[in-house]
Structure 1
């Protein structure tokens, strides 16, 4: 049995993987540490043979996870790293290790699921876009602020008063007051970027790309897209399962 853990900037997602286990993803907000409720849930697990981790949240949380894993199971977490060419993925970066490991794992999973030209939008605290050709060549990508980061930065840098309650967006294309204009603008910016990249990838590949959305805000963006799309919430964890044959790091 393997314990797969995806630690993003805001949330931690985990599941068990292996014979006799059910693929069931649980998620918690980590706030820079391992929440007590999560430790309590892990205490009920049998010791995993391996713990594979995608981690982009800073060294403090990595150290906390290592201490917890040692205390509960005497197992060292394996923090997965980008390996050029692994799984047939040729990373576009001149220094492949500088690509976020979560983005790389999403590419691994997407290629396993659908070996065609692919655009991945991971909509979390930051929104990342990655383009992949059918032969495994990663063309590169974009990084933008996520929905809430766009909104909070707008309030921080202008005289627009922040709302008393979380702002919500309907399915209109534009707002009819300041709050709805901000709500819709943050979503439409990411949707429009996805559509632009989709069209460029179609031209580059000469085929109809697969557009896959993942991340906590994927469901907020999808309804605004004017291109066909698929949502896979656990894409990074699926990539971790693919990376299970990696050497211990």
Structure 2
């Protein structure tokens, strides 16, 4: 049994895998350290055979997690690194190490799970957009602030009051709080539509639109293209890398 870890900018997702799809996904906020509720869960966990991780949360949380796994099970964490090629998948970046490992793993999983051209949107602390052709060629992507970061930066730079609110069913709003809430979702949804349509015209096919990340479900009402939510996409990519090509692990 393997322990798979997806250490994001804000949250840590983990699941167990026997070499196939990840099991139940657990989510905790890490705060650049090891959360106490994670340790409580791990105290009850039977020792895994391997621990494999994706980390974009920084060296502090990686070191803290590594200390915990050595203390509990005497195991070091194997951190996956982005690489230019993985099977048919080819990354567009000329310097693959500059391409986030979470984005890379999401593409590894997407290419395995869907046969068609795909637009992969990861809506987390940052919102990333990656375009992937059916033959495995990655065209590139874009990055925006995520939903909460977009809202926080607007409120920090203006005198708009901090009003806790969620958008209504309409794409616009009749009050300031809902306008800010709707704007952040609509901005990401609008860019998704623009990229989807460009990809559709370029390839003369109907691409798959895959949403992942903590805010994927929140985006669904704002989307005007058919989308599927795969919240464990990075963990699925980890499982693929571990079972398919050990040299991707550093």
Alignment TM-score, normalising by the size of structure 1: 0.96
Structure 1 stretch displaced more, 29-38 or 12-21: 12-21
- 1:22: Cα distance to partner? 7.4
- 1:219: Cα distance to partner? 0.8
Hey, what does 2:96 align to over in structure 1? Answer: 96
- 1:46: Cα distance to partner? 2.0
- 1:160: Cα distance to partner? 1.2
Residue pair 2:22, 2:239 contacting (<8 A) in 1 also: no
- 1:87: Cα distance to partner? 3.0
- 1:69: Cα distance to partner? 0.7
Q: Distance in 1 between matches of 2:206 and 2:93?
A: 24
Hey, what does 2:135 align to over in structure 1? Answer: 135
SS at match of 2:97: helix
CA separation of 1:20 and 1:216: change in aligned 2, threshold 3 A: closer
Q: Distance in 1 between matches of 2:19 and 2:211?
A: 28
Q: Distance in 1 between matches of 2:73 and 2:123?
A: 33
Hey, what does 2:44 align to over in structure 1? Answer: 44
Instruction: List per-residue Cα deviations over 1:42-90 (Å, max 9, x = no partner).
Output: 1222221111101101100000011001111111101100121113211
RMSD of aligned residue pairs (Cα, Å): 1.5
Hey, what does 2:226 align to over in structure 1? Answer: 228
Q: Distance in 2 between matches of 1:218 and 1:209?
A: 18
Q: Distance in 2 between matches of 1:87 and 1:215?
A: 24
Q: Distance in 1 between matches of 2:141 and 2:169?
A: 27
SS at match of 1:93: coil
Aligned length: 247
SS at match of 2:161: coil
Residue pair 1:87, 1:108 contacting (<8 A) in 2 also: no
Q: Does 1:10 align with 2:10?
A: yes
Hey, what does 1:162 align to over in structure 2? Answer: 162
SS at match of 1:111: helix
Runs of 4+ in 1 over 4 A off after TM superposition: 19-22
Structure 1 stretch displaced more, 232-241 or 15-24: 15-24
Residue pair 2:19, 2:239 contacting (<8 A) in 1 also: no
